[in-house]
Structure 1
Amino acid sequence: MKWRLLTALSAAIILGALFSAYVPDLHGSQTGLSPTDKIMISKAGAVRSMASSAPGFLSGGGLLAAAEDVEFAQPVSHDVTLNIPPVFKCNPFDHTLVVNLEGPGGEARRNHILREFGKKGLRGRFKFWPAVNFGTDEQLAQETGMKKCPCDAKKGCALSHRRIYETMLAEQWACATIFEDDVTLAENFTSRIESAIDSIPPFDVILWGFCPGGAKPRHGPKDQSSVPILRYGWPGSCVHAYTVSLQGALMLTQANTPVQTPPDGAMDGMHWFRDRTMLHIDRSGGVITGSYWFATPQLSWQGVEADNLDGGV
């Protein structure tokens, strides 16, 4: 009878030693395991090392010991100012860029812009943006599957615009106003837009001029004085004068990387390739696929004289 008792006692001692060696101590005391031997299963199912267990948690299970161990977050106790950070407040003229070919090739159009903008209140308030040379640009060739350019001029134009969007994202500009270098501006262009700034809605793109039915207007509207009303919708192609928001820059960069379509094509969700952005939207024919707005009356157009100048991209 004694030997049976001794055998049971010995077995209990051995089992106890094994249990203490392989089961973590629920009271937080050190076991025979080194810190690198302890593991935890993450929510994603991955196994990672645990140097020690946090107080109040099971070492391997991640379960709270008691509900009172979790603190309540506290709401703010002061009045909240209903403002957003300055980076998201759009003044269309904080960043004003004119796409133009550097060097002698773009000189005629640069001179046009200097005259036109000088008359319309934008002197000293804009910069030229280097246009992609579709005859030589290596990135354009790579993105369009060419060994080298000359490449598609419209896709070169799209890459010029996309590089502005990428700069906006890198610098966190709230918005930027982009012109092509054959643009003509309505009378009092700057002051009329500034009068509408406080009523600008959340947007991806605001078109200050456009091409109804794809045809370039060669003359401005009769109304050359009204403060523009912004209307929701897509009035037609062309991007000779528009403001794009930071959110719009993200969408258009995603939609046209690598470059696949002209810049105004990237604004049409029906033309977005491989459904790379805004996957939740309805892409049926005739459906507006972004937060697009346009000015009435139009404040810009592409006149014949400027459009026929050398250096177009």
Structure 2
Amino acid sequence: IIKSNYKQKIESAAEEPRVLCIVQDTTSAKTINERLTLNLPASTPVNKLYEDVAHKAGYVNGTFYLTWANTGAMAPLDQASEMSLVLSGFEAGKRNFLQLTDKDGEQPQITSDESGTADSSGVDDSSQGRFIGPLPRDGTVGCSSDYSSPSYSYSSILNKSETGYVGLVNQAMTCYLNSLLQTLFMTPEFRNALYNWEFEESEEDPVISIPYQLKRLFVLLQTSKKRAIETTDVTRSFGWDSSEAWQQHDVQELCRVMFDALEQKWKQTEQADLINQLYQGKLKDYVRCLECGYESWRIDTYLDIPLVIRPFGASQAFGSVVRPAVMMIFCSCCSIAD
């Protein structure tokens, strides 16, 4: 009965409306272009929102204010309020824009190493953080048993999972990007080639260097103690602003953009042809006469093959690409329409 009630609570929480909060850190010129995204249950109290923002921004809670953006209302949200987000003016299912501002003219205090220092990935290493993002639907890895209804908190939710792997935070609609990045990271030859490449800061700004940001992300995926890390530095190197994360980009095109950037940097190095060595395939396109057996063909190269997975499945989808088709054409060898 206890297990059943626990599952029912989880499912009820998962079905609850979510409040999407987009927070702009206006406390310094360095952070003015950064956005923190939090997807919280509608019943989350305002004081818990402050806690979540503090954890994600790497600030000590109580050393900053949250105010509404673009409304003209400068009064900060009540940091001690236990009123739910929806009763405080937040709209469920919509984007709610906030600004993180100084408190009494003093900049927010950055968390110390003892309390879990936050890095530029935006989520601290502390094991006492709250879950930020969609609520898991079951009690599997990453969902502890100490579920509590008011705050939906989980102990050690930011710790590296039991699998030993580190995940990637979904900025908004970037699941396709996360899948691509994890696939590239799990290719040892690709990962090691990126590690061996040396970045020349005198030649390029690291903020807009795709290879540099990929390399840095891979190091974090391999060494971080967090359960998941942010990808905002990588998308910023693409030239994206915060709104780009809300657009569904083509993963095939994005992969080619990254490969092109890497090939440009790897020219005249031992990794110059690595992309082709790892990912390039050859496809024979042929036409064969069923009467005389004459065959004409050509070889095409590719780095990826688009497949329609649903509802067929991967095997059937790939089979449709290589399955021969019978066509009625004129054979130039035997002069018979075949």
Give the TM-score normalised by the residue count of structure 2.
0.21
Give the TM-score normalised by the residue count of structure 1.
0.22
Structure whose CA Rg is larger: 1
